[in-house]
Amino acid sequence: MVVMSLFFVSCKDKDENLVPLRYDPEKVPTMITDSVTTLISDSGITRYKLIADEWQVFDKAGEPYWYFPRGIYLERFTPDFNIEATVIADTAWFYNKKELWKLKKNVHVENMKGELFDSEELFWDRKKQRVYSESFIVIKRGETEIKGFGFESNQQMTDYRIFRPHDGRLPFTDNAPADSLIVGVDTLNPVSPHGSMDQIDTIQTQ
């Protein structure tokens, strides 16, 4: 009886010293997977291939999301399985309910026309089928470069515009509508209403 009493007293003292564990679903993932290669379907059709060194799932968070802290490589397919675009980024988040990708640091995108898009931050809204950014972006095709701040595009990255052009190498003519710069995606031959970048507010492809 004396031994049992001492045991219970000892256990009680230890319990009083324990610090309760607090699980934060916003910071602690419910699943961590290394070396991921997977295919993702949309409406029953395989549309994406995803490769990542680490995939963290936060499906208990208030806004459920996936987190890729060690970079991501993504391919988007056309319905007949041709590669429509490739995406590379150092860090990525995917918010499930919003169907929104957030891509950070050394974001590199290539569309099926061979145009290259480089930025430090890019958002891809799958619901609205829209890609956009407020950061500096460089678009390259051959010897042509378009640079600027503020960008939006369709998710195929074939119909896009830059809101505040800055620098770049472009030929000009004098027959575009005012306050815009129209760029044909097959020629990337922009036209300016004033012949000067000082008067241009946007660059847009058709």
Report DSSP state, residue 191.
B
d(CA 97, CA 85): 23
pLDDT at res. 92 = 97
pTM for this predicted structure:
0.71
CATH number of 22-171: 2.60.450.10
SS (H, E, C) 162-179: EEEEEEEECCCCCCCCCC
Stretch 72-77: mean pLDDT = 93
Lowest mean pLDDT among 38-47, 90-99, 117-126, 135-144: 38-47
CA angle 132, 136, 138 (to 5 degrees): 90
Stretch 176-201: mean pLDDT = 39
pLDDT in tens, 101-116: 999 999 999 998 999 9
